[in-house]
A and B are shown apart, each in its own frame.
Chain A
Amino acid sequence: MSTAVTLDGITKRFPGVVANDDVTLEVERGTVHALLGENGAGKTTLMNVLYGLYEPTAGQVYVDGEPREFDSPRDAIDAGVGMIHQHFMLVDPMTVAENITLGNEPRKWGGLAVDRDAAREQVRELSERYGFDVDPDADVEDVSVGVQQRVEILKALYRGADVLILDEPTAVLTPQEVEELLAVLEELTAQGKTIIFITHKLGEAMHAADDITVLRDGKNVGSVKADTTTREELAELMVGREVLMETDKPPAEPGAVSLAVDGLRATDERGVEVVSDVSFDVREGEVFGIAGVDGNGQAELIEAVTGLRQPESGTVSFGGTDVTDWSRRRRIDEGMAYIPEDRQERGLVMEFDLVDNAILGSQHTAPFARGGRIDWDATREHAERIVAEYDVRPPNADATSGSLSGGNQQKFIVGREFERDPELVVATHPTRGVDIGSTEFIHDRLLDLRNEGRAVLLVSSKLDEVQGLSDRLAVMYEGEVMDVVDPEAVTEEELGLLMAGEYPEGYGPESEAGDAGCVATDGEPNEATQPASNDGSEGGTR
């Protein structure tokens, strides 16, 4: 077999971020190659480099063994590389055939007219050759998402693509459509096409791909054969095993239930259920962790808890009161602080200075607001206190938050949320993209809060973080809580399996109720978690 695409030492830097760090990758002709990794691992950036949308900072792209420099997608297309983006690039009011031929229309009468019959015929032939079922005359806006995706694939094939890059192709599809897509991919590779597909779902990568390359933090952390790897191995590669933190923490002293989630179901923007019947509770004085590979419903779950998403069913109770229908503002006022996943999108207004950002969420309450006016002196004092106490650098409250580094932005958000004096802190990926020093600082502050008897709900895809900080740890997979485990006792292999949707020996859906129940009924955490730790060691020695 020959090599269709070789990426040699690709590095792509954006201002302040290294999106791809010396990535080397080989794709065999006629195979399906999965590019696996979490959100933000640099998968799409890498493929945009191959497709000519980005110029690599360093490194070389080879197609069919020839070194290539792509200035634009046009060059990539000419070299036989086509890309199907996550968001389809289709013109809605045009027909399937018009979309496929756009930019390369067959013409007649010396270019005075598009040869519509020829276009239709070519599209029909192409569609039949690869076993696609699309009507060339249908308007693109009237066909299903699955068909639109096939139109995108046909578009690339029409332009002579031999290598097809698919960016998260299954994210928008129903399960049946996914099966159809996989059949299409099989047919394509059978006819000599090469497929690279980007995904963060490891099951899918194992199912559909011949080879799998895992990216983490912009680096290639391993290329494996799909038929010789295991789900655990992939999960570990994706999430990484960084040095396990040695955090000194006193045993938890769980108090009353602060947050109770019961039978919660939520759907995403497309109306697909992504949180399925999730129940758990978080007690005062404990850190309740939620682990899992990104995109398994954690984001939607947290949005439902914090009031940013209306759940389909189920309840969220806070301090014994049903708050399911409370507004975000009311939840803040009652003491629910939130460190959001995307600090630049939801945590801060990048154009505002830190003084303005310091009162976001409390702009309507004393001491910052009085009679509809904002007390800027008190606000400035508050901002400066956060900057000083949480070590935000540069120590200048007049700086816009956009001018701060990611770690300092995060420290500022953490400071603002903690200074609310909250009953419950919901922290999602609190240390993503944050340097080691700030990470430790944020971890310490989270534990301080817990030791003061506050409740902490922590979501992270970093295993060491959730394992090190949590007193109880739930693992989510495809919208469901697989199990609630004792983070001290569980092994990484077991966590990896749970995160991949499989139960290690000694774990099972029934133990979820058992573990949670033990802590709920028994105030002594050491005894309460004993059974779980026994289970864990058995599972580990299997």
Chain B
Amino acid sequence: MSSETVRGRLTDGELSPQRVAGLVAAVLLAGLVLWGFAFPETQAGRFVAILTDRSTLAATLRLSVPIAFAALGGIFAEKSGVINIGLEGLLIVSAFGGVYMADVTGSVWMGLAAGIVASTLLALLFAVVCIEFRADQIIAGLAIWLIALGLAPFASQVVYGGPNTASVDTVDAIVIPGLSSIPFFGALFSATPFVYLMFGAVAASWWTLNRTSFGRWVNASGENPKALDTAGVNVTRVRYAAVLLSGVLCGFGGAALSLSIGQFVGSGSTMVNGKGFIAIVTYLFGNYNPVGALLSTMLFAGLDALQLTLQARDVFAVPQPLVRTIPYVTVIIVLALFGRTRIPKAAGEHYESGDE
């Protein structure tokens, strides 16, 4: 007698407009690349040359580091139910903190540690405001960004007399003999320790989220905190841990950013320049999977590296401001075509044990 509810689902083979558009784009890109290989003297040829240049991969990896770390941090926080859009701010304070401590102690590693501490402290503030005082997570996240945006250049002004800090030593690349001379992919084996740390962090994050008890709890805390609570796990504690972890990861990212250049640039939107916000896009695009987030980060960073080279070599004779928009435009298109993200059900909601 009861009316049956049938859930309609897209079957896998179905051709949705998105899939058609994606397919067309892939075919066009493949055509361009093939054309370039076939005729190296054409514009397409020069484009392919840049694409397959080893320095492009090296730049991609370098640009990926801060975004990937921030994305990992964002994944932990949001999976636990706390949307952390203050990632940008966490990157900024750790970028400054890292350079300052490296300047004071003369050690890059002390700088990295200081960056992590600075970012974690700011994340703690965010956690207290959101979890303890039940503030709106989006507003609190924006506040974290604005605080950092004001605080770091100000500190630089106080210490160094300007928004940019003094220069500090950077770390050398770790070169693996033999492997590093492979064409193109050799860039993977001749990179800064931060790049290797990034790969390690992605693997560790994946393991933590998918294989450990803590990962299960983080997941449950963002999906159905009440279920976790009644299972006898303290939701508040899990959320604090996840947000603090996002601070630690952003600390790696921010410090790596400034320490691989050797200076903190505090003018304008600082040297972080939106990387924290891009990180949010990449982890959403990666559907909260650390590996997916890394891949989408590298897509973005790769496009960024590409546009830098295109600007430098002036391949297409297009105004530079337009070239600079390539990564952003592409990310938007890719998101529109393939974005299928499952947002944790309880993300953004407060949870208080004992609420009925």
Query: Which residues of A come within 8 Å of B, CB atoms?
Result: 48, 53, 72-74, 77, 83, 85, 89-94, 98-99, 102-105, 107, 111-114, 155, 159, 174, 267, 270-273
Contact = CB atoms under 8 A, between A and B. Distances in A.
Contact of A103 (B3, B207, B228, B345): B228
Contacts of B342: 93
Contact of A272 (B2, B220, B233): B2
A281 B2 CA distance: 26
A99 B228 CA distance: 9
B216 A94 contact: yes
B3 A271 contact: yes
Contact of B227 (A77, A83, A90, A105): A90
B232 A77 contact: yes
Interface string B205-228: 001000111001101100110111
A91 B3 CA distance: 26
Contacts of B213: 105, 107, 111, 114
Contacts of B220: 91, 94, 102
Contacts of B226: 89
Given A53-B354, A91-B223, A103-B233, A112 B212 contact: yes
Most buried by A among B1, B213, B226, B231: B231
Contacts of B227: 89-91, 99, 102
Contact of A89 (B216, B217, B224, B353): B224
B351 to A, nearest CB: 13
26 contacts: A48-B356, A53-B356, A72-B353, A73-B229, A73-B230, A89-B226, A89-B227, A89-B230, A89-B231, A90-B227, A91-B223, A91-B224, A93-B342, A94-B220, A99-B227, A102-B216, A102-B217, A104-B232, A111-B212, A114-B211, A114-B212, A114-B213, A114-B216, A155-B231, A174-B2, A271-B2
A439 B220 CA distance: 47
Interface in B212-259: 212-213, 216-217, 219-220, 223-224, 226-233
Contact of B2 (A48, A53, A85, A273): A273
A93 B223 contact: yes
B16 interface: no
A494 to B, nearest CB: 29
B216 A267 contact: no
Contact of B223 (A92, A112, A271, A272): A92
Contacts of A102: 216-217, 220, 227-228, 231, 233
A94 B345 CA distance: 13
Interface string B108-121: 00000000000000
B5 interface: yes
The A interface is mostly helix, strand or loop, or mixed, namely loop
7 tightest CB-CB pairs across the interface, nearest first?
A103-B231, A89-B227, A74-B232, A105-B213, A103-B233, A102-B231, A91-B220
Q: Which of A72, A102, A271 has the most CB of B within 10 A?
A: A102
Contacts of B354: 53
Contacts of A270: 2
A112 B212 CA distance: 6
Interface residues on B, range: 20 to 34
Contacts of B230: 73, 83, 85, 89
A103 B207 CA distance: 18
A89 B353 CA distance: 14
Contacts of A159: 232
Nearest to A271: B3
Nearest to A103: B231
Contacts of A77: 232
A41 B39 CA distance: 83
A273 B1 contact: yes
Given A91-B224, A91-B228, 19 more contacts: A53-B354, A72-B232, A89-B227, A89-B230, A90-B227, A92-B224, A99-B227, A102-B216, A102-B217, A102-B227, A102-B228, A102-B231, A102-B233, A103-B232, A104-B231, A112-B211, A114-B211, A271-B2, A271-B4
Contacts of A83: 230
A177 to B, nearest CB: 12
A93 B222 CA distance: 11
A226 B31 CA distance: 78
A159 B5 CA distance: 34
A438 B233 CA distance: 46
B5 A271 contact: yes
Contacts of A73: 229-230, 232
A161 to B, nearest CB: 12
A267 B223 contact: no
Contacts of B228: 91, 102-103
A465 B219 CA distance: 51
A105 B216 contact: yes
B218 to A, nearest CB: 11
B212 A113 contact: yes
B1 to A, nearest CB: 5
Interface in B162-214: 207, 211-213
Contacts of B216: 94, 98, 102, 105, 114
B204 to A, nearest CB: 11
